[in-house]
Amino acid sequence: METKPLTERERIDALVFRLDISIRKLAQIVEMNENTFYHITDSSRFGISERTASKICNNLKDKMQVIVNREWLLSGVGEMILEQKDTSPHINEAMPSEKSMKNGTNRKNIGRKKKPVYSEKEKIEDYINLLKTNYNLVLTGAPGTGKTYLTQQIAKEMGAVTRFVQFHPSYDYTDFVEGLRPFDRGEGQMGFERRDGVFKEFCKLAAKNIEGDSSGKLTNQPFVFIIDEINRGEASKIFGELFYAIDPGYRGKKEYLVQTQYQNLVPDTDVYAKGFYVPENVYILATMNDIDRSVESMDFAMRRRFTWKEVTPTDTESMLDTLSCAEEAKATMERLNNVIAETDGLGAAYMIGPSYFLKLGENGGDFDKLWRMNIEPLLKEYLRGFRKTAEIIDKFSKAYFGEGDEPQVELIDED
């Protein structure tokens, strides 16, 4: 299977993984503001420029005695590290393949075997910085990685006012923005009236939270709108003309008002009487499963207005800390995910998240029952349509129960 080249963001992620540091630390090393660093290394906005690559390479050489391949940093071609001094022993390990780095996993370095370089709170702060910089953020990843849980933790740490919705196939513009809704006129008669949808209502609350319309000064309280399973709804139908309004470049700009479909019915006393805009203190935080077939329904107009961040099982494994068998659960999840990620035809998008292992708290810590009732049926569903299913499931079972390290199995589609 051909490996796709790493994007600019993935090359930065690979570099910090190799150096065993956080993005925040890398930004400090190259003497850049962290928010600026997020901007200039985000391929959906700018990408890594010649000047930025030179700054990264020069500072890493001076401060960490690491010579980074400038050509690799700009294009992904060649080796990542050209030379490294013995003074940095933690980067002398063998470099994971681009495939394993693309998958976010490596057998030597994944999960429990790699010492965390920063705390859970610092991880949350990184997500917050990314959200504040880009306004619209989608957390992607395998099912059960705790993406929904993570959105709530992010909003809580921000001290934000939140609203939670889950998209589904029948969700539409009327639910989200505004529309005509029936009401009882009395005496058995029905009528229709324009009503705000959940997002427009939320934006009104945020607009009222701004101190002084003339000054535009914001209070310290942000508003975070959480959309779970954003790909399960038809985005173009739900957002309508709000594609323009949610663009980060137009946040809070009243000179670029959007005329909604029912603008002529909006009363003069309404804050959006002349048109709609998204206040500067509103952030959109969404989740999406990578392997969901409905991912293909996300058009490029939608994708361009959001920043996408992958969440791996190791990012959220702290969810398991409440279990009495937490360490064993994390180690089991690591072993199984190592094998899944390295199995051709699956990869990191099919890894098992910690949400599945939380069921150990309900079944008394019975790992065998968890395998039979939850993990094995899921893996069989993943393998539907492929040959050698029994052999591959046996391989996964041995990894799950810690019964040895089997060679890689290649999946072959029956078609």
The model's pLDDT over 274-307, given as tens digits with 9 standing for 90+, comes to 999 999 999 999 998 877 655 455 667 777 888 8
- Encoded amino acid at 198, one letter: V
Q: What is the mean pLDDT of residues 225-252?
A: 88
Whole-number Å distance between alpha carbons of 239 and 72? 39
Pairing type for strands 223-228 and 161-166 reads parallel
Whole-number Å distance between alpha carbons of 235 and 138? 13
Which range has highest mean pLDDT (5-14, 93-102, 196-205)? 196-205
pLDDT tens for residues 53-68? 888 888 888 888 889 8
Q: Where are the domains of the chain?
A: 8-118, 147-310, 316-400
> What pLDDT band is residue 23 in, cutting at 50, 70 and 90?
confident
Whole-number Å distance between alpha carbons of 100 and 373? 29
Number of H helices, E strands in the chain: 18, 9
Percent share of the chain, pLDDT over 70: 80
> What pLDDT band is residue 105 in, cutting at 50, 70 and 90?
very low
Whole-number Å distance between alpha carbons of 128 and 24? 12
**CB environment 213-230: b (16+ within 10 A), e (fewer):** eeeeebeeebbbbbbbbb
Per-residue pLDDT at 20: 78
pLDDT for 217 beyond 70:
no
pLDDT for 160 beyond 90:
yes
Are 282 and 203 a contacting pair, CB within 8 Å? Answer: yes
Name the residue with higher pLDDT: 32 or 158. Answer: 158
Whole-number Å distance between alpha carbons of 99 and 106? 9
pLDDT for 202 beyond 50:
yes
CA 147 to chain centre: 7
Q: 273: buried, middle or exposed (CB in 10 Å: 19+, 13-18, 0-12)?
A: exposed
Are 227 and 285 a contacting pair, CB within 8 Å? Answer: yes
The domain 147-310: what is its CATH number? 3.40.50
pLDDT for 247 beyond 50:
yes
Per-residue pLDDT at 147: 92
DSSP letter, residue 67: E
Q: Is 333 helix (H, G, I), strand (E, B) or coil?
A: helix
- What are the beta bridge partners of residue 191? 183
Whole-number Å distance between alpha carbons of 55 and 68? 11
pTM of the model: 0.67
Enter the tokens of residue 387: 């040959």
Kindly write down the DSSP assignment for every residue of 95-119, as one continuous string.
PPPHHHHHTT--TTTSGGGS--SS-
pLDDT for 27 beyond 90:
no
Rounded to the nearest integer, the mean pLDDT of the chain is: 80
Q: What is the mean pLDDT of residues 132-160?
A: 91
Pairing type for strands 136-141 and 307-310 reads parallel
Whole-number Å distance between alpha carbons of 51 and 56? 9
* Of 289, 285, 407, 414, nearest in space to 348 by CA: 289
User: Count of residues for the chain?
Assistant: 415
Name the residue with higher pLDDT: 37 or 371. Answer: 371
Enter the tokens of residue 202: 């939320």
Name the residue with higher pLDDT: 326 or 87. Answer: 326
Whole-number Å distance between alpha carbons of 190 and 210? 38
Pairing type for strands 189-196 and 178-186 reads antiparallel
Per-residue pLDDT at 97: 45
Positive/negative CA dihedral, 52, 56, 62, 68: negative
Whole-number Å distance between alpha carbons of 15 and 17? 5
Per-residue pLDDT at 90: 39
Are 123 and 315 a contacting pair, CB within 8 Å? Answer: yes
pLDDT tens for residues 107-123? 334 434 444 445 677 88
Number of Cβ within a 10 Å radius of residue 391: 10
pLDDT for 31 beyond 60:
yes
Whole-number Å distance between alpha carbons of 394 and 103? 22
Whole-number Å distance between alpha carbons of 39 and 9? 10
> What pLDDT band is residue 201 in, cutting at 50, 70 and 90?
very high
> What pLDDT band is residue 35 in, cutting at 50, 70 and 90?
low
Enter the tokens of residue 147: 């993406």
Whole-number Å distance between alpha carbons of 415 and 412? 9
pLDDT for 91 beyond 60:
no
Are 167 and 229 a contacting pair, CB within 8 Å? Answer: yes
Are 140 and 308 a contacting pair, CB within 8 Å? Answer: yes
Whole-number Å distance between alpha carbons of 40 and 30? 13
